[in-house]
Amino acid sequence: MHIHILGICGTFMGGIAVLAKQAGHRVTGCDANVYPPMSTQLEAQGIELIEGFDPQQLSLNPDIYVIGNVVSRGNPLMEEILNRNLPYISGPQWLAQNLLHDKWVLAVAGTHGKTTTSAMLAWILEYAGLNPGFLIGGVPQNFGISARLPSPQPSPGGRGGYEGCFFVIEADEYDTAFFDKRSKFVHYRPRTIILNNLEFDHADIFADLAAIETQFHHLLRTVPGNGLVVSNGREDSLQRVIQRGCWTPVEKFGSDDGWNIDDNNRVALNGKMQGTLQWDLMGEHNRMNALAALAAARHVGVPVAQGLAALTEFKNVKRRMEVRGTINGITVYDDFAHHPTAIATTVEGLRRKVGQARILAVLEPRSNTMKLGVMKAALPASLKDADAVFCYSANLGWDAGAALSTLGSKATVKSDLNELIAAIAAAAQPGDQILVMSNGGFGGIHEKLLQRLA
């Protein structure tokens, strides 16, 4: 089959392209921003990329067009596909029908931690010899790639014929496509589902938290009775989702009546000690992620002891507290945090690691929700553990300086990236920890800042 992917350079659609190529399909694609690193990754897989959405691409004559949710009505190529009544499908639906339908799908959903928890779970299964497939919204450093197909194994292994057919997927609640406004994750039909947490986000498509809870309720309706729901026991929102209807056994984590972890990283299940988590990752959020991954892996037969052993070798995901360099005693980190809760958790985790060392938090409010200013009132509190805050205010529809004014002289706001870098470099001292947080490339600030510090 020849598939042509519209919007191929996004992390999710790029992952689908890689999987489709591995499955033996001919894959081509187009996007408005065809540039490294995604372009080089896809081209290395033998995938032909085209810049833009010119209707002349119809001459490729693919069997089907796979549409990413970046594509909207008015897109010239999409309009011509509609005018000619050519076959098209969303990315999640194509994935479900062609690659996931015969797999034991382990899905990881939630506002925060999806990528890291998916990477942990995939690594535990890999460590246990189950050779899982996966599609993750980042690059797990244990694998070096964001997507791959599972490797079949010779025997059923007592897992109901699913040996070699496990697939871990990051289950996003964002909408599927311009013609399908359901959340992506309703397409995946997971047998094992992790519900990490649930807060208000994606203000561009959801009116309030209740609207997102409804989508999570729809997700639970797809999980079979012989599956497992692994749910954060500390989240009232998830408890409300489950109370609306759940036909699947539930295991909670972060609560006494389920999976828990103490201050010494000793893991317990229903009060019974299972072993100790030994690793270097920072933050309570990662300890919770680990509990969820251990519970999900146990559902497919991985003993907890083996899961704990795997996590000692877990190397996290690129852009999750990734050290980009140390210059003159100043360390620069890259992190994906872009929601106030994630920002607070990331800063807190770094504070626990570095003690009294100064933390310079550098923030780009880039997500659609942040650009709308919905979360601006929560920003100052999320940054309270930082010693200084630098905010990039370009392309915002709200006044970042006013929003951060309660931080007083701790906060510096600049709309020019070079001026922001200059201000950070001027403030930095040996021993400082510079924490850069954005869900985008942030104009290459990491390398520019390291060069400036040098």
- Percentage of the chain exceeding pLDDT 90: 59
Q: Pseudo-torsion of CA 167, 108, 313, 287, nearest 10°?
A: -160
Question: For 170-196, what is each residue's pLDDT tens digit?
Answer: 998 888 999 999 989 999 999 999 999
pLDDT at 161: 55
Nearest to 419 by CA among 386, 440, 394, 388: 394
CA distance 105 to 108: 10
Question: Model-level pTM?
Answer: 0.78
| Residue 60 DSSP class | G
Q: Which tokens go with 453?
A: 């510090």
What does the pLDDT read at residue 90? 97
Could you give the domains of the chain? Answer: 2-89 (3.40.50.720), 102-311 (3.40.1190.10), 322-453 (3.90.190.20)
- Residue 400 has which token pair? 């970042």
Q: Is residue 106 over pLDDT 90?
A: yes
pLDDT on residue 156: 45
pLDDT of residue 388: 92
Q: Which range among 40-44, 78-82, 427-431 shows the weakest confidence by mean pLDDT?
A: 40-44
* Segment 370-406, tens digit of pLDDT: 777 777 888 888 898 899 999 998 888 888 888 898 8
Which H, E and C letters describe 349-404, residue by residue?
HHHHHHCCCCEEEEECCCCHHHHHCCCHHHHHHHCCCCCEEEEECCCCCCCHHHHC
Supply the pLDDT for residue 155.
43
Structure tokens at 40: 């080089």
Given a contact cutoff of 8 angstroms between Cβ atoms, the answer to whether 259 and 231 are in contact is no
Across 161-170, 285-294, 325-334, least confident range: 161-170
> Average of pLDDT values for 404-420?
90
Return the pLDDT at 160: 53
Could you write out the DSSP letters of every residue in 1-37?
A: -EEEEETTTSHHHHHHHHHHHHTT-EEEEEES---TT
- Our measurement of the distance from residue 369's CA atom to the centroid of its chain's CA atoms, rounded to an integer in Å, reads 16
